[in-house]
Structure 1
Amino acid sequence: MRPVPERPASGQESVWDYPRPPRVESVAKRVRIELGGQAIVDTDDVVRVLETSHPPVYYLPIDAFAEGTLTPGEGASFCEYKGGARYFDVHGGGTSRARAGWTYPQPSPGFEVLRGRVAVYPGVMDRCTVDGVEVEPQPGGFYGGWITPEIVGPFKGGPGTNGW
């Protein structure tokens, strides 16, 4: 059963207006991620992927992450749109999170801008911000969307949303 989309107010976006297949776009935003009390990345070189029913996923340059904060993680996965993903373990301030970040080493056509970029699951970081506003993680543990006040749902990922 398809959910009823929330109506966005002025200045907001509905995830139900995002496309499928997804769209990738550069955004003029500053993203900061903290883990173990340490800023592991702080950059304004940001792209996001928008897909129907999902909050945006932010991708940041691998080179923007502090040295030693990303190490190869176990396993791989495949996205029908973006291609094969590899995982990173993310480290900061003496804290480690296994498979908390991912990259597309050879992204599919149309998603080439993701090469050399990393996304992280905000729910396992201490703090993620977009232009200084703290992010709420997408419900569930499978997707890595970032919810900010200008994004409205409902969002895929929580219980009962598998068939959306």
Structure 2
Amino acid sequence: MRPVAIAPAPGQESVWDYPRPPRLERTERHVQVWLGGVQIADTRSSYRVLETSHPPGYYLPRDAFLPGVLLPAAGSSVCEWKGRASYWTLTAGGMSVPKAAWSYEHPTPEFEPIAGHVALYAGRVDRVTLDGVEVTPQPGEFYGGWITPEIVGPFKGVPGSWGW
């Protein structure tokens, strides 16, 4: 069944207005991430990926993370738009979360600006904020989008959305 897009109110964006193939945008929104009670990342310089039916995914520069937080993890996956992803274990405050983050070290030409930047699953860390507002993780185990009040769906990842 095809989803019905929620009409965005003033100041909101609908994920159904995002393009396919996805678009990459630079953003200066303030991103902060905590794990094990420790703030592990802080930046006002990242990229967001906008794709139909998905809340934005954010890619942070590697130097936004505290030293020693990012450890290579086994495995990889392939995105038809961005290329081959490498995974990262996040470690801080006595916690270690395997495959909590990923990066594209050699992305496709359209996504070259995110080479080496790191995205993360908001649901696998203590807390993520965007301009001081706590992020809600995109539903589903596979997707890494971040939901904030200015983004409306419905979002891919909810039960029954595999074929969207």
Cα deviation for residue 28 of structure 1 reads: 2.1
Task: Name the residue aligned to 1:156.
Answer: 156
Q: Distance in 1 between matches of 2:14 and 2:54?
A: 9
Cα deviation for residue 159 of structure 1 reads: 1.0
Task: Name the residue aligned to 1:35.
Answer: 35
Q: Which amino acid aligns with 2:53?
A: S
Task: Name the residue aligned to 1:106.
Answer: 106
Q: Match of 1:10, SS? A: coil
Q: Distance in 1 between matches of 2:136 and 2:57?
A: 12
Q: Distance in 1 between matches of 2:94 and 2:114?
A: 28
Cα deviation for residue 43 of structure 1 reads: 0.6
Alignment of structure 1 residues 76-91 onto 2, 5 Å: 76-91=76-91
Q: Which amino acid aligns with 1:138?
A: Q
Q: Distance in 2 between matches of 1:58 and 1:96?
A: 21
Alignment of structure 1 residues 2-151 onto 2, 5 Å: 2-151=2-151
CA RMSD of aligned residues (A): 0.6
- TM (norm. structure 1) is 0.99
How many residues are treated as equivalent by the alignment? Answer: 164
Q: Distance in 2 between matches of 1:50 and 1:83?
A: 16
Identity %, equivalent residues: 62
Deviations along 1:17-74, whole A, 9 cap, x unmatched? 0000000001120000000000000110111000000000000001111011000001
- TM (norm. structure 2) is 0.99
- Unmatched runs of 5 consecutive residues or more in structure 1: none
Q: Distance in 1 between matches of 2:104 and 2:10?
A: 34
Q: Which amino acid aligns with 2:85?
A: A
Q: Which amino acid aligns with 1:157?
A: G
Detail structure 1 runs of 4+ shifted over 2 Å in the superposition: none
Q: Which amino acid aligns with 1:81?
A: W
Q: Match of 2:81, SS? A: coil
